[in-house]
């Protein structure tokens, strides 16, 4: 039981490049989330999903896109990378009843 | 709108000393409350949570937290800190009602340093 896995662990992007951050969970959780973490700012919700085919914006969605075609996977897409997207990105999942969110190990992204 | 305040950005304690990390929340109803811990370079790990019932909850690694409705607080405590407790601690609040994605609002974190 791996829990929530994220790839890659670290990535350097040039301004204007695009990339997809991968997230997979094996707990059969309906709910999945993407956060970004910046120093001194806590975690900010980017997007979330309540099930396959259903996604919604969080607090800071600009510059990102998501899709959810399966229960297990919830990739995050950056289309035109900007320096402001330099951050650590965390994926999490939960079930509707237990409400506890389980986090992946994170992806550190540097945009230069 | 809900919010979480962790007033202490950094705290330093000596190993073996007691610890209390503060958390205050603003929420329209009784919320679910969580404490998470993040070691350097790692994801967040759940320490404990409060949903209902006994207002003193026990968690992993010897941590406990007390929900005080009148003070809108959910402070984290540990009687004797170990050097391995050095990490960043996050308080979070979420809705009791199921639905809407059970989104959490996180505080900005408290960085704990342990002096040997």
Measured between beta carbons, which residues in chain A are less than 8 angstroms from residue B102? 31, 94, 96, 99, 101
Q: Which residue of A has its CA nearest to B34?
A: A100
- Dist CA A23 CA A33 (whole Å): 10
Q: How confident is the model at residue B99 (pLDDT cuts 50, 70, 90)?
A: low
What is the reported pLDDT for B109? 96
Kindly determine whether residue B106 and residue A42, on different chains, have CB atoms separated by under 8 Å. yes
How far is Cα A84 from Cα A62, in angstroms, rounded to an integer? 11
pLDDT digits (tens, 9 = 90+) for A55-95: 999 999 999 999 999 999 999 999 899 999 999 999 999 98
**What's the confidence (pLDDT) of residue B53?**
86
pLDDT at B30: 75
Could you tell me if B96 and B38 are in contact, meaning their C-beta atoms sit under 8 angstroms apart?
Answer: no
Task: Compare all CA atoms of chain A with the CA of B37 and give the residue at the minimum distance.
Answer: A103
Query: What part of B 64-103 touches A (C-beta under 8 Å)?
Result: 90, 94, 98-99, 101-103
pLDDT recorded at residue B98:
64
Flag whether pLDDT at B46 surpasses 80. yes
Q: What is the mean pLDDT of the segment spanning B95-106?
A: 80
Do A8 and A107 touch, CB atoms closer than 8 A?
yes
Do residue A50 and residue B101 have CB atoms under 8 angstroms apart? yes
Q: Which residues of A touch B39 (CB under 8 A)?
A: none
The confidence score (pLDDT) of residue B93 equals: 93
Nearest CA in chain A to B10: A40
pLDDT exceeds cutoff 80 at B97? no
Q: Which residues contact B42 (CB under 8 A, 6 or more apart)?
A: A105, A106
Residue B34 sits at the chain A interface (C-beta within 8 Å): yes
Separation of alpha carbons B10 and B51, rounded Å: 28
Q: What share of chain B is helix, strand, coil (3-state, %, to 5)?
A: 10, 50, 40
Determine the Cα angle at A66 with ends A60 and A70, to 5°: 140
Model confidence band, residue B52 (pLDDT cutoffs 50, 70, 90): confident
* pLDDT class of A2 with cuts at 50, 70, 90: confident
Choose the weakest-confidence range: A30-39, A82-91, B99-108. B99-108
The answer to whether residue B35 scores a pLDDT higher than 90 is yes
Q: Do B43 and A96 touch (CB under 8 A)?
A: no
Residue A25 C-alpha, separation from nearest chain B C-alpha, in angstroms: 14
pLDDT band, very low/low/confident/very high, at B34 (cuts 50, 70, 90): very high
- Alpha carbon of A47: minimum distance to chain B alpha carbons (Å): 10
With CA atoms as reference, the chain B residue closest to A40 would be B108
| Helix, strand, coil percentages, rounded to 5, for chain A | 5, 50, 45
**Least reliable range by pLDDT among A33-42, A64-73, B10-19, B92-101:** B92-101
| Two structure tokens written together for A71 | 């229960």
- pLDDT for A99 beyond 90: no
- Residues of chain A that touch chain B, judged by Cβ-Cβ distance less than 8 Å: 4, 31, 33, 40-43, 45, 48-50, 56, 58, 90, 92, 94, 96-97, 99-106
Asked if residue B100 has pLDDT above 80, the reply is no
What percent of chain A stands above pLDDT 90? Answer: 89
**Tokens (6 digits) for B105:** 């609002």
């Amino acid at each position: 039981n791996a829990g929530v896995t994220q790839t890659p662990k670290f990535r350097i992007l040039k301004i204007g490049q695009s990339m997809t951050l991968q997230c997979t969970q094996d707990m059969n959780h309906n709910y999945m989330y993407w956060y970004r973490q910046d120093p001194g700012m806590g975690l900010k919700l980017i997007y979330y999903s309540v099930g396959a085919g259903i996604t919604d914006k969080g607090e800071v969605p600009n510059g990102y896109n998501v899709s959810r075609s399966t229960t297990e996977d919830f990739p995050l897409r950056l289309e035109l990378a900007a320096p402001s997207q330099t951050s650590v990105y965390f994926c999490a999942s939960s079930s509707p009843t237990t409400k506890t969110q389980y986090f992946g190990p994170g992806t550190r992204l540097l945009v230069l | 709108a809900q919010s979480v305040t962790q007033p202490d950005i950094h705290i330093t304690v000596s190993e073996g000393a007691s610890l209390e990390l503060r958390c205050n929340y603003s929420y329209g109803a009784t919320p679910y409350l969580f404490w998470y811990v993040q070691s350097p370079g790692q994801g967040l790990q759940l320490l404990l949570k409060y949903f209902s019932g006994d207002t003193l909850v026990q968690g992993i690694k010897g941590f406990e937290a007390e929900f005080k409705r009148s003070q809108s607080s959910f402070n984290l405590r540990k009687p004797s800190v170990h050097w391995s407790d050095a990490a960043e601690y996050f308080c979070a609040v979420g809705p009791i009602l199921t639905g809407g994605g059970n989104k959490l609002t996180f505080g900005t974190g408290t960085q704990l340093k342990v002096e040997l």
